[in-house]
Amino acid sequence: MSMELMVKAMKTKVGNPLRKLVLIKLADNANDMGECWPSYQHIADQCEIGRSTVKVHIRELEKSGLLRREFRRKGELNQSNVFHLALEGGAAPALGGGAGDNPPGAGDNPGGGAGAAPRTSHSSEPVKEPVKPEVADAPDSVAFDRLWALYPRKVGKSAAEKAWAKIKVTADLFDRMAVSLAAWTVSTDWTKDGGQYIPHASTWLNGKRWEDELPQPAGAAPIASRRPASGPDFNDTSWADDLGGL
């Protein structure tokens, strides 16, 4: 993992929350030269979205000049893709005129927000996305396992499960938790001293820490303002300018 690329990915504006998550995952896998070669399925599993959705967002990142794909073949077989990240500019070119220009994948948030916009495909290839149930309709153990997979400090699982059971987690709330965790995982407070200051998951849940203002990435310069404490509105990303695009 290249921390420098992670910081740049956090600060890069891509115009879509799921596309941002895919970009952060690629940076997480990349070496210091900006090269990585995870499979589409690996990215989909880590980001908890459909494989076809990953391909759509990678194509959009490629169109915007934030990455380049290199196809490696052996005979007639396509062995793997090598992704070359290009995040030097710190921001992507404009990607369209509004939420309605988002490609398929933004609608993976069934609770509203970016998913409420009409879908417009930028690819001639048909996109088939899996139908996922709302988190609130899934068994508690399954929903908690999704959070536990994202949480960087794996201690106190039993206490965390009890804290989770007290919260009615909708798909929209889970998305907010995931965005908050993505920011805190690369923050100065959580990365310093080997991560010893990362709170237990039960503490994070009981304190509703996903409602806190988002931190700066490690190594980022101080910022003048933060987003409103009520949380982000993915249809209005003007607050993200101060947060590096997250």
Three-class secondary structure of residue 219 per DSSP: coil
Same domain (yes/no): 202, 231: no
Same domain (yes/no): 52, 123: yes
Greatest Cα-to-Cα distance within the chain, rounded to the nearest angstrom: 55
Same domain (yes/no): 171, 231: no
Same domain (yes/no): 140, 117: no
> Nearest-5° angle of CA 159, CA 165, CA 168?
140
What gap in Å lies between CA 146 and CA 142, rounded to an integer? 7
The predicted model gives 105-133 an average pLDDT of 46
Q: Which residue has the tokens 């908050």?
A: 180
Number of domains in the chain: 2
Long-range CB contacts (< 8 A, 24+ apart) of 5-8? Answer: 5/30, 5/32, 5/34, 5/85, 5/87, 6/186, 6/217, 7/186, 7/217, 7/218, 7/219, 7/220, 7/244, 8/87, 8/88, 8/90
The predicted model gives 6-20 an average pLDDT of 87
The reply to whether the predicted model has a pTM over 0.75 is no
The predicted model gives 53-72 an average pLDDT of 87
Residue 97 belongs to a domain with what CATH number?
1.10.10.10
Same domain (yes/no): 35, 88: yes
> What's the token pair of residue 66?
């934030």
The per-residue pLDDT of the chain, averaged, comes to 73
Domain of 158 in residue numbering reads as 133-212
Q: What is the reported pLDDT for 52?
A: 92
Same domain (yes/no): 122, 149: no
Q: Are 209 and 167 in contact (CB under 8 A)?
A: no
Same domain (yes/no): 149, 160: yes
The more confidently predicted of residues 1 and 156 is: 156
Same domain (yes/no): 97, 115: yes
- Which of 71-80, 103-112, 158-167 ranks highest by mean pLDDT? 158-167
Same domain (yes/no): 127, 20: yes
Three-class secondary structure of residue 197 per DSSP: coil
Closest CA to 103 of 122, 87, 81: 122
pLDDT (tens digit per residue) in 133-180: 554 444 444 578 888 888 988 999 999 989 988 888 888 888 888 899
Same domain (yes/no): 107, 22: yes
Same domain (yes/no): 9, 89: yes
Q: What is the reported pLDDT for 111?
A: 38
Q: What is the reported pLDDT for 144?
A: 85
* DSSP states along 63-127: HTTSEEEEEEEETTEEEEEEEEE--TTSSPPP--SSGGGPPTTGGG-TTSGGGGSPP----SS--
Same domain (yes/no): 35, 127: yes
The more confidently predicted of residues 126 and 64 is: 64
